[in-house]
Amino acid sequence: MNRLALAFQAFLRVLTDPEAAGRVLLAISPPPPPPPAVAERPKYDMRILAMLQRDGRLVDFLMESIDDYEDAQVGSAVREIHGKCRKTLLDHFKIEAVTTGEGTEATVEAGYDPEVYRLVGQVSGHGPWKGQVNHPGWQVVEVRIPDVPGAFAEVPVIEPVEVEI
């Protein structure tokens, strides 16, 4: 009996109140759900790798097996690739050592930043730790990366296929 009274009240309200009529219409026939969001393809930032490939052919060198070459041939190729890639790196980044050189003594305080220090060897206790620097670490203090066409894209192509016609 309660539903009958409710239906009658709703009927009267729909006849006299346009806003109520709209709400009842939505309740009776709701709109279809929105389509699922299209999954966005990931964007790959390949600018640095693309520059090292463009300027020094680094990826070509690293992807090729060097097992069948003589040491002198590899050494000659490495010297050229090293020079070109080093120039590209120095043109686009200011890189400095994080700390003093290898072999020096260092103290790492408790609560150190693990992004800056990696403790190796017999690490125990809660610090501070004293040890010898095995590697000074590198940090980038300035970045000057230009746009490299196609290097920030949905398709992670470092360098397109080159076809001579």
Mean pLDDT over residues 37-44, rounded? 74
pLDDT computed for residue 78 by the predictor = 92
pLDDT tens-digit readout, 105-164: 988 898 888 888 888 888 888 889 898 999 989 998 888 887 766 666 666 676 777 777
| Residue 86 structure tokens | 């080093």
Q: Which residues contact 128 (CB under 8 A, 6 or more apart)?
A: 107, 108, 109, 110
User: Please, are residues 131 and 121 in contact by the beta-carbon 8 Å criterion?
Assistant: yes
Which residues are 139's β-sheet partners?
A: 96
Mean pLDDT value across residues 21-25:
86
pLDDT of residue 65: 92
For residues 82-108, give the mean pLDDT. 90
Instruction: Please tell me what DSSP assigns to residue 53.
Output: H
pLDDT at 2 over 90: no
How far apart are alpha carbons 81 and 47 in whole angstroms? 18
pLDDT category at 88 given cuts 50, 70, 90 is: very high
Phi, psi of 131 (to 5 degrees): -165, -170
- Three-state SS annotation for 82-95: HHHHHHHHHHHEEE
Rg over alpha carbons for the chain, rounded to the nearest Å, is 33
Mean pLDDT value of segment 85-99:
91
pLDDT higher than threshold 70 for residue 54 = yes
* Domain boundaries defined on the chain: 44-153
Q: Rounded to 5 degrees, what are φ and ψ at 134? A: -85, -30
pLDDT score, position 148:
66
Residue 84 pLDDT: 94
What is the rounded average pLDDT for all residues in the chain? 85
Cα(69)–Cα(81) distance, rounded to whole angstroms? 16
Give residue 150's region: left, alpha or beta (phi > 0; psi -120 to 50): left
- In one-letter notation, the amino acid at residue 153 is A
Confidence at residue 149, expressed as pLDDT on a 0 to 100 scale: 67
Q: Are strands 93-97 and 44-45 parallel, antiparallel or unpaired?
A: unpaired
Q: Is the pLDDT confidence value at 23 over 90?
A: no
